[in-house]
Structures are given as C-alpha cells and as structure tokens.
Structure 1
C-alpha cells in the first residue's frame, strides 16, 4: 500500500486532530479511521462515470496512537482512492498524481491550521 506518513506527533496533537476530524464528521466505521473526501474535479473519468453507483470517493486517514511514547503517534494517509458504496470496482485505484498532491497538501494545511508543528 502506498501511503503518506506523518510521525512523531504528541498525544495532545493527536487529540486536537481527532477533535477537528470528528467535528467535520469524517469518521469512518472503525475507531481511528477517517474518510477525507476527494474533490469531484479531481476524479478520473471512470470515477466520474461511477459516481452514482460507487461514490462518493475518499482517501482513508488512519490515526495511530502510541502506547508508550510520542514517537508511535502517527497519521497515515492511504494514497488509494476508495469508493464509499463499493469495496471492489475498477474505479477504486491508486491516486493519480493530482489526487495525491491535493490530498497531501490538504492534510498538511489542515495540520498547520490546527497550529501543530511537524
């Protein structure tokens, strides 16, 4: 799996991130998983064609909380474009360069706006 990993976060920063993501109602079905929506204009043609059946599209963000120290607190953004209504379909695939760039910049800006230093 391809991913973007941010490591060495403090537990207080993780709590701030979780609070903001919960406020935005981006929780996934599992604890510590959040769905970051992918803008429609960045979808591939097949994803646009499948929007009604498979969409909406997102990338999963996992919050990994350390058991013993801050070096184990991480954010892991999967660089896979997922479909909310279907697990397996040809429209679910690795992010394009534009999707990847946008979502990494989105996550970086989100963290910066929370005044978290990484």
Structure 2
C-alpha cells in the first residue's frame, strides 16, 4: 500500500493529534482509523462520474508513534469499484499538504 507517513511522533504529540482527529474527521469504527473527505474539486473524471459512490475519502491511521495517510481514494459505500483508485498527483499533493498543515496548526515540528 502506498502511504504518506509521519513517524517518530512523541507521546504528547500523539494526544494532540488524536484529539484533533476525533474532533475533526469521521471515525471509521476501527480504533485509530479516520476518514478524511477528499475535496470534490480534486476528483478524477471516473470519480466525478460515480456520483452514487460519493463521498470519496482517504484513510488516516494514527498509532502511538506515527500518522499514515493512505494514498488510495476510496468510497465508503462500496468495497470494489472502478472509482477506487490510487491518488493522482493533485490528490497526493493535497493529502501531504493537509497532513503537514495539521501538524503546523497543532504546533508539532516534524
């Protein structure tokens, strides 16, 4: 699986990140896994055409020492579909910028 990973998170920073994710994004039902909604302006042509599959999300997985953003754009409505694809360049860049901005906002130096 392709991921953007920020590791070596300090225990006090883990708590900040967890609180932020709990308050900001949808929990997946699995401990430490969150759904980050993908901005509609970033959807690929296939994803735009699959309105029944929307919304599209990227998963964030938080463990005690790392935060990983999966570079797979998925739908929460289906397990398999042509619209579930690895992030294109714009989507990948957006994920990296979003995760980096979260760390900046929380005052965590990476």
Bucket of the pairwise TM-score, normalised by the shorter protein: over 0.9
Moved over 4 A (4+): none
Alignment of 1:51-62 (within 5 A): 51=51, 53-62=52-61
Residues 8-40 of structure 1: per-residue CA shift (max 9 Å, x gap): 111111111110111114211200001111000
TM superposition shift of 1:117: 1.0
Number of the residue aligned with 2:26? 26
TM-score by length of 1: 0.89
Aligned residue pairs, count: 110
Gaps of 5+ in 1: 66-72
SS in 1 for 2:26: coil
SS in 1 for 2:27: coil
Give the Cα–Cα distance (whole angstroms) in 1 for the partners of residues 84 and 98 of structure 2: 20
Give the Cα–Cα distance (whole angstroms) in 1 for the partners of residues 83 and 98 of structure 2: 22
More strand by share: 2
SS in 2 for 1:62: strand
Alignment of 1:61-76 (within 5 A): 61-65=60-64, 73-76=65-68
